[in-house]
């Protein structure tokens, strides 16, 4: 069982994932990231279903059986989970130390049976099925109240933290609302009072008018580089319809999001030579929880996606101050992505 | 001139360093980090003084002249500065957008004329001179009131963000107190009220008693792994004497800090095969500024150093939530470092 611990000064929680236990030798410098080759063995490839924990969901051909070939999107528990399912954990508090059991969910969504087929290579309908799987898993996990926040994310490339190269996304559900998510919720609530409207709705309107940071806009989504991006070519995908929850997207919107993601990841791949990247969804916490009444989430929070290509290193200045140095202005990045 | 911009939701500031301007091609994947070799040309090596901007300080043999050989610690302005010296910048505020000119200081402290001599290889007296240089530069920069916070840090190894392998540290002074530093100050003030003592003094006492996370302790310093570390083998160096400012260390303390750093970096190098790392100093803001009276900094804040070996990747989970997954419990790390 892993453990959650809180840093009393910064207020951040960390997951000490002892089941991923490592010794100093495990950190010897590794070789360079090679251009993707099919590795000798991949547990996520079709035919190797027995090498993962039993699947919790899949989209598969009629008549095919769980944990057998025939699927095109497959969800399995992480074999080395950061958190494990369990009862709501008790919070321990002893003077300056606070901790709780590492209760949570950690799943892997295998996006395709084909090892070399990246997200922008997938047909739109297939990518829509990946997104629908995100939705279904989020909703299913949120039925258990101890999982207060469900985080959907993707690490692509070793530099972006992926340990396996086969295309996959991940879901981690935590028994507390992460500090950064909480701060965003509080901040959006405050900004809603200040501006009399959702800060994301306002951002979408202004970015569309200004145009300089706009990467694309269609019937349901808008993609822009942020005004103050931490990283070069950082991107945000905003839904035009205000909603706090990704899990409430309609099928039409899911289709449009698939088209949008395919277009944007394709652009990044072309302009930046197939960069490693992270993306994640920011949405409101588990809607089945009674949320504090003063946070008028429905009006003030607006779910969205953030995409971070991994092009620069975070270093001592950033770690120590929270300030980021970005050598590419977002207007320049948007120019390259639309040029 | 670079620009500082604020993200209205997170409250973080970023530096858009256009003088470091990069095109997409600059981000093509690079090769692996090679074992250090002397590169064909290094502007920080002795004899190449003319290849850096003119020095702002140096410790050098009597009779030798500025920007000539004969130095053992040399400080120069960064050739590609993230911020440039200037008058106090005006803060612009237009609806949801906030920015100011990128006014600040960015200097490089070349720690030794010898390309392959790393910090733990330096004699204690030489390392003390590096630390004394940090002190002198901090004090000198703080004489100008527009520099509200002076951040001293080191990136060692390309994976840790170093662009040159010659041993060096950096100083960046910013015209605002960074959000993360401010949060730490406020939090320490609150914790001082809660516990009736400085949270760092209390931590030092408890970590010494418990012993499980203690790496070393001498007459003036204590080194421990934090209770909730974000990264494997993360370390903190705490001065035993309470003081908000590193720049107020006595000579005796500086000597002891040099011994402490030499010991700790030597341990990390032995146990972890010469890992890339970042370290930085956290101290109170510019003491020449009138600070807000309610923050009783002198009592509640305690300067310290943080060391982060770069062993794992920060990925989509961490970027999206601020939660960190750490596969090495701090007690295990301390065990390896003291075993």
Interface check A164 vs B, CB under 8 A: no
- Taking an 8 Å cut-off on Cβ atoms, the answer to whether A82 and B31 are in contact is no
Look at residue A23 in the predicted model and tell me its pLDDT.
74
pTM: 0.94
Which ipTM score applies to this complex?
A: 0.93
CB nearest A184 (choices: B9, B96, B230): B9
Q: Could you read off the pLDDT of B131-178 as tens digits, one per residue?
A: 999 999 999 999 998 999 999 999 999 999 999 999 999 999 999 999
Q: How far is CA A36 from CA A117, A309, A311, B314, in A?
A: 11, 17, 18, 21
Cα–Cα–Cα angle for B317, A7, A236, rounded to 5 degrees = 30
B168 included as an active-site residue: yes
Q: Could you read off the pLDDT of B30-59 as tens digits, one per residue?
A: 555 455 555 679 999 999 999 999 999 999
Contacts of A213 in chain B (CB under 8 A): none
- Taking an 8 Å cut-off on Cβ atoms, the answer to whether A82 and B317 are in contact is yes
Look at residue B32 in the predicted model and tell me its pLDDT.
52
Query: Out of A106, A126, A166, A168, which one is annotated catalytic?
Result: A168
Question: In chain A, which residue's Cα lies nearest the Cα of B230?
Answer: A14
- Taking an 8 Å cut-off on Cβ atoms, the answer to whether A12 and B226 are in contact is no
Pair B312, B231: CB distance under 8 Å: yes
Q: Could you read off the pLDDT of A218-258 as tens digits, one per residue?
A: 999 999 999 999 999 999 999 999 999 999 999 999 999 99
- Taking an 8 Å cut-off on Cβ atoms, the answer to whether B31 and A32 are in contact is yes
Interface check A293 vs B, CB under 8 A: no
> What are chain B's domains?
3-23+38-174 (3.30.428.10), 179-338 (3.30.428.10)
Q: Could you read off the pLDDT of A168-217 as tens digits, one per residue?
A: 999 999 999 999 999 999 999 999 999 999 999 999 999 999 999 999 99
Query: Out of B168, B192, B220, B291, which one is annotated catalytic?
Result: B168
Interface check B7 vs A, CB under 8 A: yes
Interface check B226 vs A, CB under 8 A: yes
Q: Which residue has the higher pLDDT, B114 or B294?
A: B114
Interface of A with B in 76-105 (CB under 8 A): 82, 95-97
Q: Could you read off the pLDDT of A26-83 as tens digits, one per residue?
A: 776 555 545 555 567 999 999 999 999 999 999 999 999 999 999 999 999 999 999 9
The distance of A3 to chain B (nearest Cα, Å) reads 9
Contacts of B31 in chain A (CB under 8 A): 32
């Amino acid at each position: 069982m892993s453990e959650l611990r809180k840093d009393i000064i910064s207020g951040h929680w960390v997951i000490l994932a002892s089941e991923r236990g490592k010794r100093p030798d495990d950190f010897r410098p590794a070789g360079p990231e090679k251009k993707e080759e099919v590795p000798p063995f991949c547990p996520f490839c079709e035919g190797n279903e027995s090498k993962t924990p039993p699947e919790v969901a899949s989209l598969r051909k009629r008549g095919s059986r769980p944990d057998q070939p025939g699927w095109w999107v497959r969800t399995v528990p992480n074999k080395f989970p950061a958190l494990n399912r369990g009862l709501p954990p008790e919070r321990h508090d002893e003077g300056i130390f606070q901790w709780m059991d590492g209760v949570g969910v950690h799943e892997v969504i295998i996006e395709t049976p084909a090892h070399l087929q990246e997200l922008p290579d997938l047909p739109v309908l297939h990518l829509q099925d990946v997104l629908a799987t995100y939705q279904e898993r989020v909703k299913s996990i949120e039925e258990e109240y101890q999982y207060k926040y469900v985080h959907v994310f993707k690490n692509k490339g070793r530099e972006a933290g992926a340990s396996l190269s086969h295309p996959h996304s991940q879901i981690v559900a935590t028994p507390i609302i992460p500090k950064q998510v909480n701060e965003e919720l509080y901040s959006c609530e405050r900004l809603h009072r200040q501006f009399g409207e959702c800060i994301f709705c306002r951002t979408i309107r202004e970015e569309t008018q200004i145009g300089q940071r706009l990467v694309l806009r269609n019937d349901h989504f808008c993609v822009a580089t942020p005004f103050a991006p931490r990283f070069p070519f950082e991107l945000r995908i905003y839904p035009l319809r205000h909603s706090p929850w990704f899990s409430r997207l309609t099928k039409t919107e899911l289709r449009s999001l698939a088209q949008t993601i395919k277009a944007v990841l394709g652009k990044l791949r072309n302009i930046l030579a197939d960069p490693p990247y992270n993306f994640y969804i920011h949405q409101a916490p588990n809607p089945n929880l009674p949320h504090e009444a003063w946070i008028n989430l429905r009006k003030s929070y607006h779910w969205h996606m953030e995409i971070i290509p991994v092009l620069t290193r975070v270093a001592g200045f950033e770690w120590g101050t929270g300030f980021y140095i970005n050598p590419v202005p977002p207007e320049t990045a948007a120019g390259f992505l639309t040029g």
